[in-house]
């Protein structure tokens, strides 16, 4: 059975001047539309994690869930919101993707699941090899619903760094080609993405 999918779009986009990065246009289409197109075939159902007025995403026809922990605690809060949503929808696992990364692989979910299965770990994160060094991309991950209360406790104690929590559970890594997780944080990044497109 395919995992549920969660698009993480709960950040404040401060380097882009605020607002929703997913609404930026790339090649005439929003980043969010491109992300949905890539992840939807890989998952059993899809939800958008975003804070603020959910009505602004109405055109995408997705459920919108906000962080359950106040104060902009980062992507782990979005993962937790996704795990809680998945539990209420009968899913045992989720795959997360970032709303500002429009080029991630079309086999992301399968390869993350394979990495976790082979390693015998509950979590798998995407990584690339950049200049000969592994670089993890922790917003692209495979997560079990069974760890949601552990994550809630960690966030309650003030943990914010994704890899500190995932490493405590022995997260596996799935290795992908360079640049597939290119994310758009600045106007210069958006220009670079147009060139890549």
Does residue 37 carry a pLDDT above 50? yes
Does residue 7 carry a pLDDT above 80? yes
Instruction: Please name which of 39, 7, 9, 32 lies closest in space to residue 110, comparing C-alpha atoms.
Output: 39
Q: Using a pLDDT cut of 90, give the percent of the chain over it.
A: 83
Distance separating alpha carbons of residues 179 and 72, to the nearest angstrom: 27
Q: What is the pLDDT of residue 189?
A: 94
Region 32-55 average pLDDT? 96
Does residue 119 carry a pLDDT above 90? yes
pLDDT band at residue 69 under the 50/70/90 scheme: confident
Q: CA dist 45 to 2, 53, 184, Å?
A: 9, 22, 25
Specify the range with the lowest mean pLDDT, choosing from 9-13, 66-70, 96-100, 168-172: 9-13
The residues pairing with 96 across neighbouring beta strands, listed in sequence order, are 6, 141
Does residue 15 carry a pLDDT above 50? no
Give the three-state DSSP class for 171: coil
Domain coordinates of the chain in residue numbers? 4-196
Distance separating alpha carbons of residues 4 and 164, to the nearest angstrom: 24
Distance separating alpha carbons of residues 95 and 104, to the nearest angstrom: 13
Q: What is the pLDDT of residue 17?
A: 47
Q: Using a pLDDT cut of 70, give the percent of the chain over it.
A: 95
Q: What is the pLDDT of residue 14?
A: 44
Q: What is the pLDDT of residue 129?
A: 86
CATH 3.90.550.10 applies to domain 4-196: yes
Region 54-78 average pLDDT? 91
Q: Which residue has the higher pLDDT, 14 or 43?
A: 43
Cβ contacts of residue 171 below 8 Å, gap of 6+? 121, 122, 123, 124, 125, 141, 163
pLDDT band at residue 1 under the 50/70/90 scheme: confident
Distance separating alpha carbons of residues 63 and 85, to the nearest angstrom: 10
How much is the pTM? 0.94
Q: What is the pLDDT of residue 132?
A: 77
Instruction: Please name which of 31, 29, 27, 25 lies closest in space to residue 50, comparing C-alpha atoms.
Output: 31
Instruction: Please name which of 156, 182, 164 lies closest in space to residue 77, comparing C-alpha atoms.
Output: 156
Cβ contacts of residue 187 below 8 Å, gap of 6+? 16
| Mean pLDDT, all residues of the chain | 92
What is the dihedral sign for C-alpha 109, 196, 182, 130?
A: positive
Tokens linked to 137: 């991309």
């Amino acid at each position: 059975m395919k995992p549920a999918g969660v698009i993480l779009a709960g950040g404040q986009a401060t380097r882009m001047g605020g607002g929703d990065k997913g609404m930026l246009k790339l090649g005439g289409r929003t980043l969010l539309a491109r992300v949905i197109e890539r992840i939807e075939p890989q998952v059993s159902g899809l939800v958008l994690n975003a804070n603020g007025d959910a009505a602004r995403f109405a055109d995408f026809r997705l459920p919108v869930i906000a962080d359950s922990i106040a104060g902009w605690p980062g992507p782990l809060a979005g993962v937790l919101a996704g795990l809680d949503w998945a539990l209420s929808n009968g899913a045992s696992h989720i795959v997360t993707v970032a709303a500002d990364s429009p080029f991630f692989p079309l086999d992301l979910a399968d390869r993350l699941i394979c990495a976790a299965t082979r390693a015998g770990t509950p979590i798998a994160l995407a990584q690339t090899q950049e200049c000969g060094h592994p670089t993890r991309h922790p917003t692209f991950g495979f997560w079990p619903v069974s760890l949601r209360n552990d994550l809630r406790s960690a966030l309650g104690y003030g943990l914010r760094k994704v890899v500190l929590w995932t490493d405590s559970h022995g997260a596996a890594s799935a290795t992908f080609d360079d640049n597939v997780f290119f994310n758009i944080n600045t106007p210069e990044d958006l220009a670079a993405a147009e060139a890549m497109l």
